[in-house]
Amino acid sequence: MKLVILDRDGVINHDRDDFVKNTLEWIPLDKSLEAVANLTQAGWHVVVATNQSGIGRGLFDVHALNAMHEKMHRLINQAGGRIDAVFICPHTASDKCSCRKPLPGMVHDIAERFNVRLEGLPLIGDSLRDLEAIAAVGGQPMLVRTGKGEKTLAAGNLPAGTLVFDNLFEAATHLIAG
């Protein structure tokens, strides 16, 4: 099975310093919906793994998050794509959970649920924590320059073997080309 893990904010949709808190603030990035559609049509399974500490901070609730994800699913479906699952961590860093990236808890859960090997498993993200979560299990870290990506790239210290792309569309094109 070909499976790719995507971070959400800054990869699929615009990120905000004050958190994406509702459907009006959930705005897809240029060509991100098309990128997911291309992956789907090329036989890839697409899973989202996203830290959503806004829940733990009380900035929005699960109903607002579900509405955002419903919008994401609808727009991606209309573009001809599919998200197979969305894994979230609702905790703040102070909760010390195992599911919050950069820890690989969500990655382990995804691999178990979809019965895929961790080695070489690609994860596309815009922050160091995304890259660290997949690198910790022997997966393939892929950084996009959208969202926090430029800042992440400039800060350096990326995991060995990190691939860098301008956006999700370019990263998806690379995966599809094999």
Taking a C-beta distance cutoff of 8 angstroms, is the pair 144, 32 a contact? Answer: no
Residues in contact with 69: Cβ distance below 8 Å, sequence separation at least 6, in sequence order? 86
Smallest CA-to-CA distance from 11 within 123, 140, 156 is with 123
CB contact at 8 A, 91 and 56:
yes
Q: Which residues are catalytic?
A: 7, 9
CA 130, CA 121: separation in Å to the nearest integer? 13
